[in-house]
Amino acid sequence: MFKEKIDIQRLPQHVSVIMDGNGRWAKQKGLLRAFGHEEGTKAVRDVVEGCAELGVKFLTLYAFSTENWNRPKREVDTLMRLLVNSLKKEIKTLTENNIKLNAIGNIDSLPKKAQKELKEVIDKTAGNERMVLTLALSYGSREELIHVVKDLCEKVKNEELSLDAIDESIINQHLYTQNLPDVDLLIRTSGEQRISNFLLWQIAYAELYFTNILWPDFRRENLYEAIYNYQTRERRFGKTSEQIS
Ligand code: FPP
């Protein structure tokens, strides 16, 4: 049991997850990919509850990338339907657990129905304080950075901002993640070891954790293992080991 081994005083403040392997999970069982995504929602629920219970303050899930629009229309429709249904179903759990919902990405590109549902849950949970659950939807880190550059150029052009004032903090304030701290722990399931255009700026000092478990099989015990593993690492942020201790 990894839960008992976790030092609650040293939890990662911000955990983010690339939920990968839904398709392969379904294929292994001879099922359609849609079943994999559906099963993936169970893992989402378990990990959200697991993080909130432990005391993780920020959880960010990569639910749909800008590149995912290139999947067959049927699969995109399934993912959007699952999103709407999950939001409808989980608003009660979010409220009961005092969790605030947040979304990052090009939200305007989502179907109107999904936007409406999302807005409703975000508004209803706005006052919740235990944990912030952020869904990355139609999210791509490069798209986000282009959006930041355009915003900043516009402000410089209109003389609302001077060129010299641009620093890390100004960039942080213009990212979709403006209200979130840097990522401490990034988990990717399914054995792939890449970042796939997710939070490139925000993971500058994150610890990366890769597991072969496919997302639909991932449960809170696997989350505890990832957090325990994170706690065995020494985060030096560019300093020497001696400076840290
Ligand atoms: C990756 O598996 C997963 C996705 C593209 C979508 C993740 C979505 C969910 C878990 C369900 C909906 C989410 C919420 C928040 C309600 P893949 O299809 O790339 O799997 P593969 O690499 O095995 O093909």
pLDDT tens figures, 109-121 = 999 999 999 999 9
Task: Give me the catalytic one of 46, 68, 97, 172.
Answer: 68
* Tokens, residue 200: 């490139």
Give the C-alpha separation, 36 to 190, whole Å.
Answer: 13
DSSP symbols for the chain: --GGG--GGG--SEEEEE---HHHHHHHTT--HHHHHHHHHHHHHHHHHHHHHHT-SEEEEEEEEGGGGGS-HHHHHHHHHHHHHHHHHHHHHHHHTTEEEEEES-GGGS-HHHHHHHHHHHHHTTT--SEEEEEEEEE-HHHHHHHHHHHHHHHHHTTSS-GGG--HHHHHHHSTTTTSPPPSEEEE-TT----TTSSTTTTTTPEEEE--S-GGG--HHHHHHHHHHHHTS---TTS-HHHH-
Return the residue whose CA atom lies nearest to atom 16 of ligand 1. 83
Q: Which of 17, 22, 32, 33 for mutating ligand 1's site (highest number of atoms within 8 Å of CB)?
A: 22
User: What is the pLDDT at residue 176?
Assistant: 98
Is 171's pLDDT higher than 80? yes
Note the pTM of the prediction, 2 decimals.
0.96
Is 217's pLDDT higher than 90? yes
Residue 32 Cβ inside 6 Å of ligand 1? The answer reads no
Place of tokens 């959880």: 59
Is 235's pLDDT higher than 90? no
Residue 26 Cβ inside 6 Å of ligand 1? The answer reads no
pLDDT average, residue stretch 115-133 = 97
pLDDT in tens, 42-84: 999 999 999 999 999 999 999 999 999 999 999 999 999 999 9
DSSP annotation of 188: E
Is 199's pLDDT higher than 90? yes
CATH code, 8-232: 3.40.1180.10
Is 28's pLDDT higher than 80? yes
